[in-house]
Copies of this chain bind each other. A is one copy, B any other.
């Protein structure tokens, strides 16, 4: 059994908990939090909840630590710190800073293996982009996200004066997807690829027109997109928009000689954090196995053979799935 620890018990941490319990070759040893452990009750497991400060004493009891903190604040510090003590997996997703983060984690590893930036984007989508380009070097790759909730965009709306709550959906545009599938390899603008749909609860007496204008003109978040804003009541928002669906697709159309070839990968997820947790858990298996073979250091999804993430023995994989 692979002995797993979870650091951070938010949505992703709960997703990892489910995935670890579903894995026949893993056991959940402990959940670590910076909050007071007394206040945290696990959804499913009877594993102990401990303060993160207790983690360093448990290097002999935990084979791999799954880091479930956020990229913006937690992981920049936790990633290298935990990699110096344990084999780790994380879902660091600040694309622009990944090389810097990779270097910091790699420098921190200490006869340990850290698989960084797992999940689905970065993660599975990255794998598909690399695979598709390797197989079809002449072509174009397109990534679409959604329909799904973007936490970053939802948060941006919530910071606007007069907004009580908000949920933002990223919606991929069918016309753009069809154009890609047709093989014309279009140059698509940001606006052509995705629509942003916002469900907003305004405070009593707030100026809705002003809120809508602030959303639609917000640089980096909304100004480059066609954005639709719906004002609704809090009970409707909670009833209809509390789930965390997401998904998306990576498409490549390319040519071999003059012949058109198309490759596509897509995810349709009823729970984004649970799926992300499942991917991280599969890569936790890889971190453990690579460390056992002295393949130490920081790794990415590009470095990990698929046999390492599967609970199935290699010989069985070859017999049943090849």
Instruction: Please list the residues of chain A having a beta carbon within 8 angstroms of any beta carbon in chain B.
Output: 15, 18-19, 22-24, 95, 98-99, 102, 117, 122, 124, 126-127, 129-131, 133-138, 181, 247, 256-257, 259-271, 274-275, 277-279, 282, 285, 300-307, 309-312, 314-315, 317-319, 321-322
Inter-chain contacts of A24 with B (CB < 8 A): 137
Which residues in B have their C-beta under 8 angstroms from that of A18? 256-257
Docked-complex contact A261 and B269, CB < 8 angstroms: yes
B residues in contact with A137, CB < 8 Å: 22-24, 311
Distance between A261 CB and nearest chain B CB, rounded to angstroms: 5
* Minimum C-beta distance from A96 to chain B (A): 9
How many Å lie between the Cα of A181 and that of B138 in the bound state? 31
Residues on the B chain within 8 Å of A181, using CB: 268
Query: B122 and A131: CB pair below 8 A?
Result: no
Q: From residue A263, how far is it (CB to closest CB) to chain B in Å? A: 6
Contact (A305, B303) CB under 8 Å given A256-B22, A270-B259 = yes
Q: State in angstroms the CA–CA spacing of A309 and B303 once bound together.
A: 11
* Docked complex Cα distance between A278 and B133 (Å): 11
Q: Are B307 and A302 in contact (CB under 8 A)?
A: yes
Q: Which 5 A-B pairs have the closest CB atoms?
A: A256-B274, A262-B268, A302-B307, A259-B271, A134-B310
Q: From residue A309, how far is it (CB to closest CB) to chain B in Å?
A: 4
In Å, the complex CA distance between A321 and B303 comes to 13
Enumerate 23 A-B pairs (CB-CB under 8 Å) in ascending A order. A24-B137, A95-B322, A98-B318, A98-B319, A117-B322, A126-B321, A127-B306, A129-B321, A130-B312, A130-B317, A135-B279, A136-B278, A137-B311, A256-B277, A257-B274, A259-B270, A259-B274, A261-B268, A261-B271, A261-B278, A302-B305, A302-B307, A303-B307
**Residues of chain B lying within 8 A (CB to CB) of residue A278:** 135-136, 256, 261
Copies in the complex: 2
B301 touches A98 (CB 8 A): no
| Chain B contacts for A98, CB-based, 8 A | 318-319, 322
Whether the pair B256, A19 counts as a contact (CB closer than 8 A) is yes
Which of these, B22, B257, B259, B275, contacts A138 with CB under 8 Å?
B22
Contact status A261-B274, CB under 8 Å: yes
Closest-by-CB residue of B relative to A298 is B318
| Most chain B beta carbons < 10 A, residue from A265, A279, A285 | A265
Contacts of A136 in B (CB 8 A): 278
State how many angstroms separate the Cβ of A287 from the closest Cβ of chain B: 13
Q: Report chain B residues within 8 Å CB of A268.
A: 181, 261-262, 264
Complex Cα distance, B259 from A321, in Å, reads 25
Q: With A and B bound together, what is the CA distance between A263 and B257 in angstroms?
A: 30
B266-A310 in contact (CB<8A)? no
Q: Which residues of B contact A317 (CB under 8 A)?
A: 130, 302
Q: How distant is A273 from chain B, measured CB to nearest CB, in Å?
A: 9
Q: Is there contact, CB below 8 Å, between A264 and B265? A: yes
